[in-house]
Amino acid sequence: MSDLFLIADIGGTNARFALADTSAQTPLLEDSVREFAVAEFPSLAEAARHYLDQAQASARCGVFAVAGRVDGDEARITNHPWVISRPRTREMLGFDQVYLINDFAAQAMAISLYRAEDVVPIGGVPWTPAPAGEPRTYAVLGPGTGLGVGGLVVRDGRCYPLETEGGHVSFPPGTPEEIRILEILSAQFGRVSNERLICGPGLVNIHRALCEIAGHDPGLLEPKDVTARAAAGDPLCMRAVDVFCAVFGAISGDLVLTIGAWDGVFLTGGLVPKMLDSLRHSGFRQRFEYKGRFSPTMARVPSLAVLHPQAGLLGAAAYAVDLVRREASA
């Protein structure tokens, strides 16, 4: 297997490509990163070929992280009409091998390559990357267009990403106000998942529910409108951000309990860097730790905001490194 991989992080709007050198200490070649609008290409293979031609690069293997469910040799992008066939993509690119993984498998694998400066603690518990060979279990959540959820199990020097659809777990309200928000959202959506609150559109859902409670018509807003008005001192927008952060903390703590991620939870996705100050000065950590008899245990678990600008590509590079190591040890 070649040391040089073509890697990609494919979302519903943009496709990011780069090269990874699996023999290098830092495998993601950051100067090779390029981003394209997926709407400009009829298929992943054609977008990948365009990248290789533009970068004047070649590769024989690819790891493509996609924002959608991977079912055997096929993947469907959740918010875009691409249907990706692994055998057809490999044939069109002339590659020896192509691997399709879920985008949160990549987000989880990125943990294995993070340096201390790639994350910022939310709360007072610091994080130090684990020494090689030590067992670890991590959780990862990422609010963006939706809510991605996954985990990483590290055993005997091997990384095992956990691909989940945890964003679609039912929302558990923790206060009377949140119960009322649930009632309002239930009237609109029926079943209410965590993703209905903890993502960009979810912030708007929270704000609209709070406005209904207050008897106020907010009009049509986007997530950026809510955060901008909160920064300008709008009381209902400020409250929406507070509720968002508190619920985010509660479900992050629930995920730690669910998969035993005592070594830390990583907060990624497009909203986290934009809301970093709000997360730090909110009820996020209080609700994260507030788990009854397990509160003392939760107080020792790090919660970490990811600042790395290309976490998905970094995770795809980590996945490629793991593939090469597995082949070498086989």
Helix (H) or strand (E) holding 54: helix 44-55
The answer to whether 8 is annotated as binding is yes
* C-alpha torsion sign, points 99, 102, 103, 107: negative
The answer to whether 297 is annotated as binding is no
The answer to whether 148 is annotated as binding is no
Other CB atoms within 10 Å distance of the CB of residue 188: 11
Amino acid at 147: L
The answer to whether 270 is annotated as binding is no
Angstrom CA distances, 64 to 39, 77, 246, stand at 17, 12, 33
Q: Which two tokens stand for residue 310?
A: 């290309």
The answer to whether 11 is annotated as binding is yes
The answer to whether 12 is annotated as binding is yes
How far apart (Å, rounded) are the C-alpha atoms in residues 173 and 196? 12
Alpha-helix residue ranges (DSSP H) falling in 215-310: 223-231, 235-259, 271-274, 276-280, 284-289, 295-298
Decide the pairing of beta strands 4-10 and 61-66. Answer: parallel
How far apart (Å, rounded) are the C-alpha atoms in residues 72 and 75? 8
Looking up tokens 């495998």 gives: 27
Binding residue numbers: 8-13
| Binding site per annotation, positions for ATP | 8-13
